Structure formats: structure tokens, C-alpha cells
């Protein structure tokens, strides 16, 4: 039984969240859902104690409510953040498992919100890194340290190309190596699980992108002119000349103390999980 008197929301209140939950349980009230979103997750980043306490009730609504499913998924994606609600999460273990079953069933219907649902399922599986960084691979850029020399490596997957490169402020993408997907039989662990889910659901572009993260760049560099997407250029160290990067590669967020990874795309000043890198 939740003691709501101790469950502060993001506006430091304890009374409003139970009232809003009761309201949305009775009817689909758009304003109530908006208010819940602001109170349960701070700045789209940190779940409040009230948000963690509300998770079981949101999951009960999620089967028939897109808003409830999305809000519960957003809370789960941020469950690795700094908060004092570990006991609340542990007490909701059975509900979280139930939520995972619901999300997986929803994925198989090939919904319009497939990526959002997939990321929520990753969070349920405690794959918080990928729950926060995974894109749809239509135009994605990932910054990863080379496992051999720690030089910053840019991985591009999408319409802009499929390659690994060292990104230079003045020269653009240098030492460019084309990427190719790994055969499915070479995938393992969470990468294989992600790939198999995407293939099962006919999400070929997503599956292809996941398999590329197990790819090796080609041995011969491919010359490339400076990219037009100057907003994504970063200063990096020279390449060590390694011919292979293997997925998964760790990429801690530049913000000290943050448990969440950073996915830079189009704007070098903002971390894609909602925090600034400068």
C-alpha cells in the first residue's frame, strides 16, 4: 500500500498525483495526463517518487491507454537515474514483468509507436543504455570511444551513410571506414535479442542498424570531403588506425555522475537524454 503522504511529485506536492490518477482511471482526460507527465518526471529526465509509486496504476491502464503506456515507459527508461525509489521499483517487480509482456504484445501489432515501445521494453529488461540512446537508424550519429586507443569515433547510420570515422573540427569526418552488418549468427547477448525482436516484427531498418553495431569497418579508409552537417563536428584525437570496433561499446555521458549515456545528434550542445554537455 503506497503512503502518498511521502510520495512527492516534481512540484513538491503529495496530494495531486493520486487525484489525477483517479481521474484518468475514470476517463481519458487530456489535461490530467499532461499534468501527470509534469509531476511524475522532472524535465523529461528524472522520475519523482510519485512517478515510481504511480507505475503499477499506470501499467494497469496501459493495456487500453496509449498515454498510460507511454508514461509508464518513460518512467522505466529513467529508472536508472538517481532517486530514492529503489524499494518502490523492487516492490513493483511483478508489475514490471507484466508491463514487459504487454509491450512485447504491442510490438507484434507493428504499431506506429514501435520505437518508443521497443525502448520501453529495453528498459523493462534493464537495458537502460539502449533504452535511452536507440534511434530508428534513419539518420543517426553515435559517439563512441575506440576500444584500442580511446579516440572518439563517430558512427553514422542512416541516409547520411553507414561508416565509422574520426570527426575533426576543421576537416570533418576523417579516416572514414564503411560499415557492414554482421551476420545474425555472429550476434550475441542483448544485441542478438534486439535483432531477433526487430526481425520478428518486420522492422528491417531497425534490425539492420542493430546488426551494424556488430560490424567491422573496412580495412581500407574511404576518402570523404568535409560533411555539410557542421553542427555535429567534434574535436577528437587522431585515429589509432584500428580496423575493427565491436558492439556494444560503452559510452558514458560526459556529465559527471550521470548514470545515463549520451547520444549526440545534430546539436553538440545537448545530450539526447535531456541533459546539456556544456
Instruction: Dump pLDDT digits (tens) for 129-157.
Output: 899 989 999 988 888 887 777 788 888 99
- For position 214, what pLDDT does the model report? 60
Q: Kindly list the distances between the CA atom of residue 190 and the CA atoms of 12, 67, 98, in Å, as whole numbers in the listed order.
A: 38, 28, 20
Mean pLDDT of 231-241: 29
* Lowest mean per-residue pLDDT among 19-23, 88-92, 218-222, 243-247: 218-222
3-state DSSP of the chain: CCCHHHCCCCCCCCCHHHHHHHHHHHCCCHHHHHHHHHHHEECCCEECHHHHHHHHHHHHHHCCCHHHHHHHHHHHHCCCCCCCCHHHHHHCHHHHHHHHHHHHHHHCCCCCCHHHHHHHHHHHCCCHHHHHHCCCCCEEEEEEECCCCCCEEEEEEECCEEEEEEEECCCEEEEEEECCCCCHHHCCHHHHHHHHHHHHCCCHHHHHHHHHCCCCCCCCCCCCCCCCCHHHCCCCCCCCCCCCCCCCCCCECCCCCCCCECCCCCCCCECCCCCECC
Please check whether residue 62 is in contact with residue 97, taking contact to mean a CB–CB distance below 8 angstroms: no
Provide the Cα torsion 263, 267, 271, 272; round to 10°: -60
- For position 242, what pLDDT does the model report? 34
The whole model's pTM is what?
0.76
Of all residues in the chain, the percent with pLDDT exceeding 70 is 76
Mean pLDDT of 61-90: 93
Please check whether residue 224 is in contact with residue 165, taking contact to mean a CB–CB distance below 8 angstroms: yes
Please check whether residue 209 is in contact with residue 130, taking contact to mean a CB–CB distance below 8 angstroms: no
How far apart CA 57 and CA 71 sit, in angstroms, is: 11
How far apart CA 13 and CA 7 sit, in angstroms, is: 8
Q: Residue 83 pLDDT more than 60?
A: yes
Each residue's pLDDT tens digit, 28-67:
999 999 999 999 999 878 999 999 999 999 999 999 999 9
Amino acid at each position: 500500500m503506497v503512503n502518498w503522504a511521502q510520495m512527492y511529485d516534481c512540484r513538491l506536492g503529495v496530494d495531486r498525483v493520486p487525484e489525477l490518477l483517479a481521474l484518468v482511471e475514470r476517463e481519458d482526460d487530456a489535461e490530467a495526463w499532461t499534468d501527470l507527465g509534469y509531476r511524475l518526471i522532472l524535465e523529461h529526465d528524472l522520475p519523482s517518487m510519485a512517478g515510481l509509486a504511480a507505475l503499477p496504476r499506470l501499467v494497469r491502464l496501459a493495456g487500453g491507454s496509449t498515454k498510460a503506456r507511454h508514461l509508464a515507459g518513460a518512467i522505466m527508461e529513467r529508472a536508472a537515474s538517481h532517486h530514492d525509489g529503489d524499494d518502490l521499483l523492487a516492490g513493483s517487480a511483478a508489475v514490471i514483468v507484466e508491463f514487459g509482456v504487454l509491450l512485447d504484445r504491442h510490438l507484434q501489432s507493428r504499431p506506429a509507436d514501435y520505437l518508443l515501445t521497443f525502448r520501453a521494453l529495453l528498459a523493462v529488461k534493464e537495458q537502460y543504455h539502449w533504452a535511452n540512446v536507440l534511434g530508428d537508424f534513419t539518420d543517426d550519429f553515435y559517439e563512441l570511444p575506440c576500444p584500442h586507443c580511446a579516440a572518439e569515433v563517430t558512427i553514422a547510420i542512416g541516409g547520411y551513410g553507414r561508416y565509422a570515422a574520426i570527426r575533426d573540427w576543421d576537416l570533418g569526418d576523417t579516416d572514414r571506414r564503411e560499415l557492414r552488418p554482421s551476420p545474425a549468427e555472429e550476434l550475441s547477448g542483448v544485441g542478438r535479442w534486439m535483432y531477433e525482436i526487430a526481425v520478428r516484427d518486420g522492422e528491417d531498418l531497425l534490425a539492420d542498424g542493430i546488426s551494424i553495431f556488430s560490424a567491422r569497418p573496412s580495412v581500407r579508409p574511404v576518402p570523404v570531403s568535409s560533411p555539410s552537417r557542421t553542427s555535429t563536428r567534434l574535436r577528437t584525437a587522431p585515429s589509432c588506425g584500428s580496423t575493427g570496433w565491436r558492439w556494444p561499446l560503452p559510452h558514458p555521458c560526459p556529465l559527471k555522475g550521470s548514470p545515463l549515456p549520451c547520444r549526440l545528434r545534430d546539436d553538440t550542445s545537448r545530450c539526447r537524454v535531456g541533459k546539456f554537455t556544456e
